[in-house]
Amino acid sequence: MPRFSFQERAAEKAAARERDEELLRSGQVSHADMARANGGFVRGARYKGPAKRIQALAASLSLEDDSA
């Protein structure tokens, strides 16, 4: 039975990241397609934007920045 190696797994992940970055740099894959491929394939999920409380916080912070 093969044993798990943290070093081998780290090397595999680094190689996969490098492949992903090269595909993005070359334009072979869009950022959206890469996100879908690496995101676990959640079906039927839609981005609804930030929650109301986060929107309110962002608005209050931008008002503070404007007054400074």
The answer to whether residue 65 sits within a structural domain is no
Instruction: Copy the structure tokens of residue 68.
Output: 């400074």
The answer to whether residue 24 sits within a structural domain is yes
Quick: pLDDT tens for 20-50: 999 999 999 998 888 888 876 666 667 677 7
Rounded Cα distance, 56 and 37, in Å = 32
The answer to whether residue 55 sits within a structural domain is no
Number of domains in the chain: 1
DSSP per residue, 7-39: HHHHHHHHHHHHHHHHHHHHTSS-HHHHHHHHT
DSSP reduced 3-state for 61: helix
The answer to whether residue 61 sits within a structural domain is no
Which domain, by its residues, includes 21? Answer: 1-39
The answer to whether residue 25 sits within a structural domain is yes
pTM over 0.75: no
Instruction: Copy the structure tokens of residue 52.
Output: 């109301």
Mean pLDDT on 5-16: 94
